[in-house]
Amino acid sequence: HVIDNVYFKELLEDFKLSTQRNDLTIDNQVYGSEVMLRIDKFHFNTALLNILENAVKYGKEKTHIVLKTELRNGTYHISIMDNGIGISEKNKQHLFDKFYRVSDGNVHDVKGLGLGLYYTHQIIKAHNGTIIVESELNKGTTFNIKIPVN
Ligand code: ATP
Ligand code: MG
């Protein structure tokens, strides 16, 4: 599948509807040209939705998400930033491991299998891309994805 910036608009609209949270705000800063990306739409959608869902699951009172995309040096950059509970330096190292969940702090009550980010990582790798996480405890988390443009 080939996608453009309309893809992100639809993705965010679907996500917002599915969360049923009216205190959720999303800042959509998607790169606005006719740049095309070759992706497996179903899996790529799910990969990004896992990150967006986590932003709500591990958020604080009012979740704010900033989604940015940019084309730089033949690479498509996607960044998803939240203002949630954050992840400590120690826990960050295991984030993309199968079945990994942070076992301390506010996360205790939140249900999950620890598969979402494992899956996301696999899918990004399958698109020859990379994903890294930046986070500060109690401030928020940013996922940075890079996909080569073909
Ligand atoms: P699943 O996605 O399988 O339902 P999960 O959300 O626990 O379960 P992942 O999405 O893989 O699993 O996330 C792994 C762990 O990383 C989470 O349990 C949570 O502790 C932490 N985490 C993930 N995203 C965030 C985030 N945006 N802010 C804070 N912590 C996060
Ligand atoms: Mg998850």
Q: How far is residue 56 CA from its own chain's centroid?
A: 11
Q: Give the residue carrying structure tokens 């790529």.
A: 44
pLDDT for res 56: 96
Whether residue 59 has its Cβ less than 6 Å from ligand 1:
no
Q: Which residue among 96, 100, 101 is best mutated to probe the pocket of ligand 1, counting the most ligand atoms within 8 A of its Cβ?
A: 101
ipTM: 0.99
Provide mean pLDDT across the span 27-56. Answer: 89
Could you tell me the distance, in angstroms and rounded to a whole number, from the CA of residue 68 to the centre of ligand 2? 20
What pLDDT does residue 35 have? 72
> What pLDDT is stored for residue 34 in this prediction?
63
Scored b (16 or more CB within 10 A) or e, 67-83 reads bbbeeeeeebbbbbbbb
**E runs forming strands in 7-139:** 25-29, 37-38, 64-72, 75-82, 130-136
| Token pair recorded at residue 72 | 């730089």
Candidate from 117, 139, 144 with most ligand 1 atoms within 8 A of CB, to mutate: 117
**Ligand 1 neighbour 120 (Cβ under 6 A):** no
Both tokens of 143, joined, read 């996922």
Using CA atoms, how far apart are residues 98 and 90, in angstroms rounded to an integer?
17
- pTM score, whole prediction: 0.96
pLDDT tens across 75-86, in order?
Answer: 999 999 999 999
Distance of CA 121 to the CA centre of its chain: 10
CA 99, 105, 111, 116 dihedral sign is: negative
Give the ligand at the shortest distance from the Cα of 58: 1
